[in-house]
Structure 1
């Protein structure tokens, strides 16, 4: 199925590998151009976590095909991939960025400062050579997700620093056979009904919700719950546009959120919806999750992958990328949104249906600022190729992708995640705020595992959120009085 004239090169990078070793992996031959032979070759390395499967050495066949097609289009460029463990990729790549040894393309959710990434604005203003008739690369993208009005697309300094290969949306995947055996109907409408469903599934002898130790699960659940309770504050906090000017935005910008935090309007201790969100999340962990979840290694596509795919768990959380993991199961599966929190479930309910929304937090890659010359040109070309209609569509189809561009189509089978309120992005689409040196860590372990009380955890969040807001203000050079701490 795939060309065999070149040998695919994959390496597993694990925590603790010396930066110099990874640099050796990342660096390639010199010189631009050429016909693909000898010293004319340019080698670039893509380094990030595996979002598609549990293979520690390969992102999977869709990526192999993408790289093969790009190398056929650009025979003077070799592309290598480094697969990093989900739990350690941020620490590994942040260390490399700090040491100046990061490879040419790295996963954007790596802790970093704006000066550590190449500003892509000038490239996005030029044509994408792989898209026929395109006059401006940025025009290929759906500006609801990636453009001047998108709060997520632009960093604190007002620059584009990454390119989205796809969009991501998270939902609840379920084993329809188990739910039928337990007498549970999907979709589950309310939070209270969800807890009752967990009890019924347990009585039937199954794990209600597959869970693992990953920070993804905690962040996803918190994001599913807290915007439903905090929605009442959105107009009050919405004060800045995506380019950090006074105004409003479709989703609260980092600057709007930072102001709410530093002025005390959004405070974990004094905003009761925060404690309520944590308590509601903990009930799900206590009553629904795999009992020994803290000892199970985390994945990126499915949470608690082995229990769900193995037919031992009725439900799990997963991204749209996860569908390819279910190709060989012998049971019926489907998806549903997280349930709405009703007034019966919480006194802080706003009645707004649960929302998650597709967004650009999926597969985003950036170029370290230390990348120069032929490697920089090759890295830009790869980003352009994967976001062109001809280059990107086959990869989207094979990887369960939702397009960030206008002329591409969603992969088949994702309709249920992309309909109704669930497909709408909440105004508060960033719900936990941690400084860069803590990104990638499970954010609520202490409280969920009861090594800290709710009050102690809220105090820790208060300190973290203040640190995040001040970090944003410093990176953005904001000079408003509230931004000075």
Structure 2
């Protein structure tokens, strides 16, 4: 069952391929396999240890460089460690997964590889022991693991662990998060003093933006807005069911999980505790869902997918004032948009909007599904030592200029996010929701196929509800089969 919806299953952006296994890369792909300018200089200088980092370009369309900010960061490391040279190998977006998976299996991977491609645990170094040692680039640090924001990365964070070994096998350079970008100039022109915090604020802002000549929200035919909006609404309105639906822990055993899991939702649907027709929050969610889309680009179903920023062209040209996006979109936005940008959480739906609300705050949470790298198990000796040093440097305050330039969200303590992306971690929005977003259809089914007819006004609410239940029932049965839950009493 595709409960986690589009953030995890559909997108051309790399960051969203991770935990999404997601959150996102700037628009566009990169070119041919390439390396940065250092690769053209021949062998490393005498006495130097050369290590190579290989992964996709998440920030621009270059096929040879991650960008000036990255190169400046590497230069800073090399000045700190003159005996080490770091080379960057840019892998094509449409082939990096196969390349890295094949190299790891063959034992030919370079010293650092992007962590998202499928691999076996024995093909990479587990870093748990290294993380218990001090990070020399963080003054006063006693254990490297302590520099990370513990809610996102560490031995107690299930999504940070290898599913096969239960170990920590990569280091996150940043976090990935979603939220709404907005045009500060458009807000000022429309007389909006501050970003809307509640749904009522959002309604009022949309009316002012329309009066000022803007489409309030940029939308396109991609799956991102459909999934993120549905999740952001349903996680709020169903928060009241946290205890009632929380049947299983994160391992799938009876117990409680910090966030109600897909398995728990499947049980609720299977047993009829959660139904599209009788659970009032479902119909209310659909109404607000359509209202959001009705405030978007009028012909959104015919607008090309904008990548990591929904309705990218309409947003950067100033036609629309708000847009869904991820922190990985910032570098492109700062280049293409001719106005100051800000970020904000999705609005909180309060009792002032609907009586089924409990005033539960809008939450989504960040993830380590951004830029993360691991060390192949074939890396030994001085190259391994040099690689660990680079990873330690990348989890120190020295990365702040790079994060600011790219809009990256810090995975470590003591580093503040850039002004453009601070809103993606603001308040409760930066915390993970308590109830998993309500599902769309079975895994692999296009999420928009479930809702487009309703969002476009071609199907009524009364028609959508039973149709949605059919999607859920199919998704639950598919999930039971895929996850081998069939022997459990609830699944029979």
Global fold match (TM > 0.5): yes
Quickly say closer, same or farther: Cα 1:393–1:266, change in 2 above 3 A. Answer: farther
Quickly say closer, same or farther: Cα 1:461–1:168, change in 2 above 3 A. Answer: same
Task: Show the counterpart of 2:223.
Answer: 215
Indicate whether 1:396 and 2:400 are aligned: no
The CA deviation at 1:227 is: 0.7
Indicate whether 1:298 and 2:302 are aligned: no
Task: Show the counterpart of 2:24.
Answer: none
Task: Show the counterpart of 1:188.
Answer: 196
Matches within 5 A, 1:202-351: 202-242=210-250, 247-252=255-260, 265=273, 273-274=281-282, 276-289=284-297, 291-292=299-300, 294-300=302-308, 302-324=309-331, 325-326=333-334, 331-343=339-351, 345-351=353-359
Quickly say closer, same or farther: Cα 1:202–1:37, change in 2 above 3 A. Answer: farther
Structure 1 residues 102-125: Cα deviation after superposition (integer angstroms, max 9, x where no partner): 966665566x58769747354554
Structure 1 residues 446-473: Cα deviation after superposition (integer angstroms, max 9, x where no partner): 52266997344553354345545654x4
The CA deviation at 1:209 is: 0.9
Matches within 5 A, 1:68-87: 68-70=75-77, 73=81, 75=84, 77-82=86-91, 84=93
Indicate whether 1:120 and 2:126 are aligned: yes
Range with greater deviation from structure 2 (207-216 or 444-453): 444-453
Is the Cα–Cα contact under 8 Å of residues 210 and 216 in structure 2 kept in the other structure? yes
Residue among 36, 55, 60 paired with 1:46: 55
Quickly say closer, same or farther: Cα 1:147–1:395, change in 2 above 3 A. Answer: same
CA distance in 2, matches of 1:100, 1:81: 15
Residue among 447, 451, 458 paired with 2:451: 447
TM-score of the superposition, structure 1-length normalised? Answer: 0.71
> 5+ unaligned residues in a row in structure 2: which ranges?
1-27
Residue among 148, 169, 180 paired with 1:141: 148
CA RMSD across the alignment: 4.6
Is the Cα–Cα contact under 8 Å of residues 29 and 61 in structure 2 kept in the other structure? no
Indicate whether 1:201 and 2:205 are aligned: no
CA distance in 1, matches of 2:134, 2:29: 32
Indicate whether 1:373 and 2:379 are aligned: yes
SS in 2 for 1:198: helix
Quickly say closer, same or farther: Cα 1:184–1:396, change in 2 above 3 A. Answer: closer
CA distance in 2, matches of 1:268, 1:215: 22
Task: Show the counterpart of 1:179.
Answer: 187
CA distance in 1, matches of 2:183, 2:195: 12
Is the Cα–Cα contact under 8 Å of residues 167 and 360 in structure 1 kept in the other structure? yes
Is the Cα–Cα contact under 8 Å of residues 162 and 364 in structure 1 kept in the other structure? no
SS in 2 for 1:444: helix
Is the Cα–Cα contact under 8 Å of residues 64 and 89 in structure 2 kept in the other structure? no
Quickly say closer, same or farther: Cα 1:189–1:125, change in 2 above 3 A. Answer: closer
Task: Show the counterpart of 2:18.
Answer: none
Quickly say closer, same or farther: Cα 1:63–1:336, change in 2 above 3 A. Answer: same
Residue among 62, 66, 72 paired with 1:65: 72
The CA deviation at 1:172 is: 2.4
CA distance in 2, matches of 1:100, 1:267: 47
Is the Cα–Cα contact under 8 Å of residues 245 and 265 in structure 2 kept in the other structure? yes
Quickly say closer, same or farther: Cα 1:285–1:54, change in 2 above 3 A. Answer: farther
Structure 1 residues 178-200: Cα deviation after superposition (integer angstroms, max 9, x where no partner): 33444555433543553454354
Structure 1 residues 392-433: Cα deviation after superposition (integer angstroms, max 9, x where no partner): 333223322332222433334555554443343322366658
Task: Show the counterpart of 1:459.
Answer: 470
Range with greater deviation from structure 2 (395-404 or 118-127): 118-127
Is the Cα–Cα contact under 8 Å of residues 36 and 75 in structure 1 kept in the other structure? no
SS in 1 for 2:174: coil
The CA deviation at 1:278 is: 4.4
Residue among 173, 186, 190 paired with 1:165: 173
Quickly say closer, same or farther: Cα 1:422–1:76, change in 2 above 3 A. Answer: closer
Range with greater deviation from structure 2 (375-384 or 120-129): 375-384
Range with greater deviation from structure 2 (316-325 or 36-45): 36-45
Matches within 5 A, 1:30-41: 36=45, 41=50
The CA deviation at 1:314 is: 1.4
The CA deviation at 1:231 is: 0.2
Range with greater deviation from structure 2 (240-249 or 303-312): 240-249
CA distance in 1, matches of 2:439, 2:63: 29
Is the Cα–Cα contact under 8 Å of residues 259 and 482 in structure 1 kept in the other structure? no
CA distance in 2, matches of 1:315, 1:470: 40
CA distance in 1, matches of 2:128, 2:218: 45
TM-score of the superposition, structure 2-length normalised? Answer: 0.70
